[in-house]
Amino acid sequence: MLITQTLVVAAPAATVWRVLTDLDRYPEWNPFVVACRSTLEPGAPIAMRVRVLPFVAQPQRETIFEHAPGRRLRYGIPPLPLGALASDRSHVVEPVGDARSRYVSRFELCGWLAPVVAAFLGGRLERGFAAMSAAIKARAEALHADAARIHHPPDASLPPVGPSNLPTAIRRAPNGGRR
């Protein structure tokens, strides 16, 4: 079973990467992986709570396979005995221009139990990974838009409103210019 999504995100790759690796904030925005803990060091565990079924977030413990900061994160289930099951999940972030990036999500399940898992959970996994990818995009774009507003407020060209820039006649009027 293979599930992939590729999205163009209207945010720099560094912002997308920050969303992806800020594991403590997953409960704020991630509808699929609702909690996550890891050092992200290769060989380290990654402990997640994954909402595969409605109203239930099941614990899932996997292993970090690769971490290329800013570019690629891979983790999964190492092959189980007798080749029963293995998984490989990757997130790839690439810049594609000024303030734009490409996010690629990939999940592969293999082994002789994979068809059984796909039959029971395949649709739910597809919807979950799609929802997480869409949420990564939305979160990164919102953070980027917020940062742009802070650095370039929409009305930055207008002078501030206050007593110092009111017309002289209004400032001097004893009642503040009211009639």
CATH label of the domain that carries residue 132:
3.30.530.20
- 150 lies in some domain: yes
Report helix, strand or coil for 125.
Answer: helix
- Range with the lowest mean pLDDT among 11-25, 30-44, 137-151? 137-151
- pLDDT per residue over 45-88, tens digit each? 999 999 998 888 999 999 999 999 999 999 999 999 999 999 99
- 98 lies in some domain: yes
- 100 lies in some domain: yes
Of 59, 89, 63, 68, give the one whose Cα is nearest residue 78: 63
- pLDDT per residue over 159-176, tens digit each? 554 455 444 444 454 555
Residues of the domain holding 35 = 2-111+120-155
- 165 lies in some domain: no
- DSSP letter string, 21-59: H-GGGHHHH-SSEEEEEE---TT-EEEEEEEEETTEEEE
Mean pLDDT of 115-144: 96
- 24 lies in some domain: yes
- 20 lies in some domain: yes
pLDDT surpassing 60 at residue 111: yes
Total domains, the chain: 1
Question: What is the predicted pLDDT for the residue at 97?
Answer: 86
- 41 lies in some domain: yes
